[in-house]
Structure formats: structure tokens, C-alpha cells
Amino acid sequence: MNDILFNLPKCLTIRNKESHNEKTSTLTFSLPFEYSIRPGQYFMLWVPGVDEVPISVSGYHGTHISFTICDVGSASRSLNNKGHTELIGLRGPFGNGFEVEYGKNALIVAGGMGIAPLRFLIQCLTSNITSSQRIVLIQGAKTCNDLLFRSEFERLPIETNFCTEDGSYGFKGFASTKMDLLLGDLIQSDFNLEIFACGPEIFLKKVLYVAQKNKIEKNTQICLADRHIRCGFGICGSCFLDDIGLSLCRDGPVFRGSVLLEVTDFGQYGRKSNGLKYQFH
Amino acid sequence: MSDLTTFIGRVQIRNPLILAAGILGSTFSTLNRAYQEGFGAVVTKSVGRHPRDGHPNPSVVYIPETDSILNAVGLANPGCIEFGKELVKIHSDVKLIVSIFGSTAEDISSVIQCIENNIGNSKSVAFELNLSCPHVQKVGMLVGTDPKLVYDIVNQAKSITKTAIWIKLTPNVKDITIIGEAAIDAGADALVAINTLKAMLINVEARKPILANLRGGLSGRAIKPIGIRAIYDLYEKFGPKVPLIGVGGIWTWEDIVEYFLAGACSVQIGSVLSQYSSPQFIISELLTGLQKYLVQEGLSLHELRGLAHE
Ligand SMILES: Cc1cc2nc3c(=O)[nH]c(=O)nc-3n(C[C@H](O)[C@H](O)[C@H](O)COP(=O)(O)OP(=O)(O)OC[C@H]3O[C@@H](n4cnc5c(N)ncnc54)[C@H](O)[C@@H]3O)c2cc1C
Ligand SMILES: Cc1cc2nc3c(=O)[nH]c(=O)nc-3n(C[C@H](O)[C@H](O)[C@H](O)COP(=O)(O)O)c2cc1C
Ligand code: FES
């Protein structure tokens, strides 16, 4: 618990708010001082009187920390509707985060809101990029409107590949399909490649399948988000993965592909807040 | 090496450390893992007759100044039928204790039957009855604060199962020994003390209670002296014939020794797991410390029990 900045919710006001589309916005807060936070880590965001939910850090610079939130229910809606004077509680940072090796070639695969933690990762990687290093992004979303941060990514020294399910922008199809098409070539030219992925678990299962097919699952880091979080520090038992019994909240949310191959529920079942299993679809 | 084999009445376990209820134990995977990593036995999350979603978040927060945890998970559980299916997947060597809650004697007995129908009557070594559920007839009161109700619950539970019945006592009463006595008179096989203490935290900036449920239960280091006193009082009343399991704020091997001196024959640990990335580290730290102490003092665990009363 020593590396947690706020064990109890610290209430802050929103410094800046940027709307991406009707359902999604990025909220920025100012921390009281600089703190070490890794991409892939998350905070519990508390809307007093509503709920407290896990949200990945989508950007961090100096003391400015950002979260990108998609409206799917009461807490996320209320976060998106908050004005500048209202207080939001921050508890965290929680979780392990990605292992970042600077200078290594990176393939980043995002499905939908999975771009949130990966955007912070991209910020870190590009701020230390070397001249020979390749950073390839494959970002998928339902429509062009849902390709968050697209224009920001287009300005960065990375190779972008956008995919939409309806074909309204870029490749028509899933990011995992695009990954399947690109990975063979990337591996041939770059032996030293690390894959980073985040998105819905069904999608991540496809990503892992492609990685495994190319024998690169050990170098694939996957960030999960489909488990119910209560404590965030591995004590309450609400977020564990069967059968290996690792917690998403503390042992994760980032796991190596080789570990996820042993998670029997991966991409198939989640658990509700009461512990009941449900099937992903 | 001192032998750490522990007896809680008829129940024999390989060491005195038991995983406390509601910590990790919501799934077969975590219970298997916790046992594999060295616990003498593991207690499940409390299960009831019907599924419950529990309270919204914040429902579990850590208080750094006192190394404590405030929680109001609200007895979230999938109901005994589904939980029974979960428990079937627990490895056969695991010493399993199923924690059960309910508002009436019928409630609790029906959950015991439901679990035994699913897992048979030999898989769990004991049922631990968590009596901190609200009393349905007497609103605002907890089941475990009414000695007559406790007697009825234990009496009925004993009549339907051969498995040991342990009673987990709430510290939120005037005299814990009165409830303990009711349980023992009705045939309880062991007493477990203590559950969490009623507590609340208010966020100063938001001027609102932090827990969504407003009120919750406190565990961790802050409550150890209260747990020690509960065990001391119970041992003073019943002597060595009643097995007592000490819970509350155990952080170091010295804390375990303290519980034994007060009269416990075994202990449960919960909140301290928040300090370690994996249970195996704290378990080996506690057992190594305990072993060393026993060798140095030339005592067995059994001989240590209740020494503070002499
Ligand atoms: C580690 C992690 C990182 C996440 N990062 C982001 C992010 O950067 N941006 C983003 O928009 N979303 C993120 N999510 C998902 C986000 O937490 C849920 O969308 C949010 O909790 C929905 O809450 P709600 O009250 O709006 O919706 P509800 O109506 O309460 O629930 C809708 C769905 O959200 C999920 N959910 C609700 N409560 C929780 C909870 N306590 N823990 C986990 N899931 C829950 C459930 O699947 C539920 O079915 C992340 C989840 C996790 C576990
Ligand atoms: C998050 C959490 C959930 C708990 N859930 C239960 C439960 O379901 N049933 C129960 O009898 N006790 C429950 N407890 C209480 C513990 O079993 C234990 O009695 C208490 O935490 C004191 O021990 P500790 O200080 O070592 O944590 C819970 C405690 C915590 C922190
Ligand atoms: S959310 Fe409590 S253990 Fe993961």
C-alpha cells in the first residue's frame, strides 16, 4: 500500500474538460504534487452520492492527470456531466501498469475505450523515442466518431492504422483483424517487438490468439477491464480471475499473454458484483 | 522445530493461521490459491440463501494512519445454489470452512442444507455462522446481539448437520460472553471473535460519508486490542474446554502470540493481506516468527494458550 498516493478519496475539482463525442470526454485534474504513475494504472473515481468506478489514467504530465470516460451508466454519465466547480474523489493509483522498455519497437492494439490507458502509454513512449524505433498503432472503434484522439495520434511520430466496424474511416473491420494482417511483416522486420493491447475482453482474446499464432505471447501485455472492482488493493475478492486466482485490481490489470493463456475465463466469463458468472458477448 | 498442528475441537489443521471470511474468498480459485500458499484453513466469503449485489462503491477503503480497513461490501454473494457449484471446484485437500449468514434459524439451516446438497457433507470441516446480519423481525438490530435467537440458530443448525458449527461473534455488544454462552449452550463447536466494529469516515472536502452505505465495519490494526479483550473475556468465562479463534488486527507473529496468551487456540487473518503482494509472504513471515518464539521459549502452541490468565 506504500505506493498508493490517495488511499482514501481525495476530492479535486475538474481543471479541464474535453468532449470527444456525445458519450465520451476527458477530464483533467491537478494533483497536489508530482507522483510516479505508470501507464495501465487506474484510479477509483468517486462521484459522491452516486458511485465510485475504476478509470484508467489516459494522460499524465507534470501534475496534470487525465481520465477518458465513456458514458455507459450512472457513474460514468455523472462524471461526464460534471462542471468545473464540482468535486470528484480520486483514490489510487492502483494496479501494476505496463512494463515499458524504452527504445524497443512497439505494436499498440486498441479496441474502443481500450485506447484510454494506451494513450498514456503512447505519450510515454513518444516522449523518449529514438530515431530507429518504430511505434505502430492499430486503433479500432465502431465508427469514425469513436476513434478517440485520432488527430492527436496523427501528429505524433508513430505509424497509425485506424479501423472502424462500419468502414466510416480507415480499414473496415476489427483492429485484431488488422493486427493479423500486419504482424507477420512486423515480426520479420523487427525482432525486438513488444505488443500492448487493451479493449473488451472478447476482442483481447482475438489479439492474444493472433499473438500466439506468431509465437509472441510472452511479449504481449494485455490490459483487462471487465471485472467488478471494489477495493482496488486485492483484498475483497471481487475481481479475481479463474483458475489461477490472480486479482485484476492489484496483480493486474496488465497481464502477459502467456499468463492469460492459463486464465480459463479469459474472453469468456466475467463476474457480476455478487460474484455470479456471466458470459461475454 | 515446534509442531504447529492445531486442533479446534475435532478439526485438525496443519497450522493455526486461517484466512478470515470475506477476504479473497469469493471464488474457488482464490480459496485454492490461499490454501496452497500456506494457510492452515480457509473461510469463504459469507453466503446467504439468495443472491445479493451488495452495496455500491466506495465499499472498501484502506486507512493508512491506522493500518485499518473500513468496509461495507454488504454481504454481496451469488446465493447458496450458485456458491455451492463454485465450492465443488475446491481441491479435496483444502481445509474449508463455509461462512453463512442469515436473518433467522430457518434461513441459516436452509443454506447449510443447500451447501451440503452441492458439496456433500465431508468437504467442509466447519460452517462458520456470521451473525452480523440485520434481524428481520427487530429492525435495526443484528442477529448476533440477541442471545435467544443465537441459541435457536445454533440449536437448529446442530440438528441438521454433523459438520462442526463455529459462531462468529460481533464485538458490537455490551458483553460478548453472553452471546458466546448462548452459542455454547446450544452446542456450538467453537467461537470466533471478532467481526468488524461499527464505524464511519467522512470526507472533509465533500462533507459526505465516504462509504456509499454511509456506515461500515472497521478491521485491521486499530481493532486488535478489542479482539484481544474479547478472547480474554471468553477464555475467562469458559476456560480451555471451548475452542476460541482470535481475529482482528493481526499484523505480526507477536500479535498471534498475544491472541494465544489471551486464550485463543487458533487465529484468522484478513486485513494484513493488503500489505503483501501475495499471501505466501505474510504466512511464512508469521509462521517463521511463531516457530522461533516457541523454540526459544520451549513451549508448544498448546501450552501457550491462556498463559496471560495465570
Ligand atoms: C481497471 C479498469 C479500468 C477502466 N478504465 C476505463 C476508462 O479509462 N474509461 C472508461 O470509460 N471506462 C473504464 N473502465 C470501465 C468503467 O469502470 C465502467 O464503464 C464503469 O464502472 C461503469 O460504471 P457506471 O456506473 O457508469 O455504469 P453501471 O450502469 O453501474 O454499469 C455498467 C457496466 O459497467 C461495469 N461496472 C460498473 N461498476 C463497475 C466497477 N465497480 N468495476 C468494474 N466495472 C464496473 C459493469 O460491466 C457494468 O455492467 C475501466 C474498468 C476497469 C476495471
Ligand atoms: C472487505 C472485508 C469483507 C469482509 N467480509 C466478511 C464476511 O463476508 N463475513 C464475515 O464473517 N466477516 C467478514 N469480514 C470480517 C473479517 O472476516 C474479520 O473478522 C475482520 O476483518 C477482522 O480481522 P482483520 O483485522 O484481520 O481483518 C470482512 C472484512 C473485510 C475487510
Ligand atoms: S477489487 Fe477487491 S480484490 Fe480486486
Ligand 2 pocket at CB < 6 A: A 235-236; B 20-23, 45-46, 60, 69, 71, 73, 99, 130, 168, 195-196, 219-220, 223, 247-250, 269-272
What's the half-sphere exposure (Cβ side, CA atoms, 13 Å) at B191? 35
What residues 244-283 of chain B have any CB closer than 8 A to a CB of chain A?
270-271, 273-275, 277
pLDDT exceeds 90 at position B66: yes
pLDDT at A202: 96
The percentage of chain A sitting over the pLDDT mark of 70, rounded to a whole number, equals 99
For residue B110, give Cα distances in angstroms to A46, A200, B101, B144.
Answer: 38, 39, 11, 18
Asked, as a colleague might, if the bond just before B58 is cis with ω within 30 of 0, I would say yes
Give the integer Cα–Cα distance in Å for A267 and A281.
9
Gap between the Cα atoms of B182 and B129, Å rounded: 14
CA of residue B176 to ligand 3 center, whole Å: 31
- Amino acid letter, residue B266: S
Q: Are B215 and B199 in contact (CB under 8 A)?
A: yes
DSSP summary character for residue B37: T
What is the Cα–Cα distance from A196 to A117, expressed in whole angstroms?
10
Spatial CA neighbour of B127 closest among B93, B94, B154, B92:
B154
Chain B within 8 Å of A130 (Cβ-Cβ)? no
Position B38 confidence tier, pLDDT thresholds 50, 70, 90 = very high
Residue A22, judged by CB atoms within 10 A of its CB (0-12, 13-18, 19+), counts as: exposed
Q: In this prediction, what percent of chain B has a pLDDT beyond 70?
A: 97
User: Can you tell me the distance from the alpha carbon of B171 to that of B198, in angstroms, rounded to the nearest whole number?
Assistant: 9
**B26-36 burial string, b = 16+ CB within 10 Å, else e?**
bbbbbbbbbbe
Give the DSSP H/E element, type plus range, for residue B246. strand B244-247
Give yes or no for residue A246 CB within 6 A of ligand 3: no
A276/B78 touch (CB, cutoff 8 Å), yes or no: yes
Q: Where are the alpha helices (DSSP H) in B126-278?
A: 147-160, 176-185, 224-238, 253-262
pLDDT at residue A197 is higher than 90 = yes
Question: Please, are residues A159 and A152 in contact by the beta-carbon 8 Å criterion?
Answer: no
Ligand 3 centre and the CA of B50: distance in Å? 22
Give the three-state DSSP class for B231.
helix
Q: Which range among A187-191, B34-38, B115-119 shows the weakest confidence by mean pLDDT?
A: A187-191
pLDDT value, residue B276: 92
Q: Are B95 and B35 in contact (CB under 8 A)?
A: yes
Provide mean pLDDT across the span A211-238. Answer: 95
CA atoms in the 13 A half-sphere facing the CB of B103: 11
A-chain residues near B212 (CB < 8 A)? 51-52
Residues of B in contact with A7 (CB under 8 A): 61-64
Distance from CA of A233 to the nearest CA of B (A): 6
Per residue in A152-169, pLDDT tens? 999 999 999 999 999 999
Residue B78: exposed, middle, or buried by beta-carbon count in 10 A (0-12, 13-18, 19+)?
buried
Answer yes or no: do B76 and A238 touch at CB < 8 A: yes
Q: Are strands B68-71 and B216-220 parallel, antiparallel or unpaired?
A: antiparallel
List the one residue out of A122, A50, A71 whose CA is nearest residue B57.
A50
Q: Is the pLDDT of residue B79 over 80?
A: yes
Q: Residue B278, Cα to own-chain centre: how many angstroms?
A: 20
Question: Domains along chain B?
Answer: 6-309 (3.20.20.70)
- Backbone angles phi and psi of A244, in degrees to 5: -80, -10
Q: How much is the pLDDT for B256?
A: 98
Cα angle: B240, vertex B153, B192; to 5 degrees: 35
As given in the structure block, the three cell numbers for residue B183 are 452459542
| Residue B30 in contact with partner chain A when CB distance is under 8 A | yes
Q: Ligand 2 test: best mutation among B219, B256, B268, most atoms within 8 Å of CB?
A: B219
Query: In the structure grid, which three cell numbers stand for residue B184, read together?
Result: 455454547
CA distance A74 to chain B (A): 11
The one-character DSSP state at B2 is -
Residue A53 has pLDDT above 80, yes or no: yes
**Ligand 2 atom closest to Cα of B227?**
22
Rounded Cα distance, A200 and A157, in Å:
27
Q: Kindly tell me if the per-residue pLDDT of B24 is higher than 70.
A: yes
Q: In angstroms, how far is the first alpha carbon of chain B from the final one?
A: 26
> In the structure grid, which three cell numbers stand for residue A199, read together?
479493449
- pLDDT attached to residue B134: 67
Per-residue pLDDT band for A84 (boundaries 50, 70, 90) equals confident
Q: Using a CB–CB cutoff of 8 Å, tell me whether A85 touches chain B.
A: no
- Assess contact for B283 and B39: CB atoms under 8 A: yes
Provide the 3-class DSSP secondary structure of residue A196: strand
Classify A8 as helix, strand or coil.
Answer: strand
Q: Reduced to 3 states, what is the DSSP secondary structure of residue B192?
A: strand
pLDDT of A189 strictly over 80: no
- As a whole number, the mean pLDDT across chain B is 94
- Give the pLDDT band of residue A188 (cuts 50, 70, 90): confident
* Cα A128 to the center of its chain, rounded Å: 20
- pLDDT, mean over chain A: 94
Q: With CB atoms and an 8 Å threshold, state whether A250 touches B27.
A: no
pLDDT mean over A237-243: 93
pLDDT at A85: 82
Closest Cα to atom 21 of ligand 2: B219
Residue nearest (by alpha carbon) to ligand 1 atom 29: A73
Largest CA distance in chain B: 55
What is the DSSP code string of A150-167? HHHHHTSSSEEEEEETTS
For residue A190, pLDDT beyond 70: no
CA distance linking residue A45 with residue A53, whole number of Å: 5
Tens digit of each residue's pLDDT (9 = 90 or more) over B186-195: 999 999 999 9
More confident residue, A189 or A158: A158
Interatomic CA distance for residues B215 and B211, integer angstroms: 7
Q: Does A86 touch chain B (CB under 8 A)?
A: no
Q: Where residue A103 falls among pLDDT bands split at 50, 70, 90?
A: confident
Phi-psi map region of B140: left, alpha, beta (phi>0 left; psi -120 to 50 alpha): left
A81 lines ligand 1 (CB under 6 A): no
Confidence of residue B139 (pLDDT cuts 50, 70, 90): low
Judge if the beta carbon of residue A115 lies within 6 A of ligand 1: no
Q: How far apart are CA B104 and CA B112, in angstroms?
A: 13
Strands A193-198 and A171-172, by their bridges, are unpaired
pLDDT of residue B97: 97
pLDDT score, position B193:
96
How high is the pLDDT of residue A132?
87
Q: Indicate if the pLDDT at residue B205 is higher than 90.
A: yes
C-alpha pair distances (Å), A106 with each of A2, A40, A115, A121, A257: 31, 15, 15, 10, 15
Q: In the prediction, which pLDDT does A82 show?
A: 86
Residue A176 pLDDT greater than 90, yes or no: yes
Residue recorded with cell 448476533: B144
Q: What is the mean pLDDT of residues B22-41?
A: 94
Is the peptide bond between A3 and the residue preceding it cis, with omega within 30 degrees of 0? no
**In this predicted structure, what is the pLDDT of residue A26?**
96
Evaluate whether B47 touches B99 at the Cβ level (below 8 Å).
yes
Place of cell 454481504: B75
Residue B136 confidence class, pLDDT cut points 50, 70, 90: low
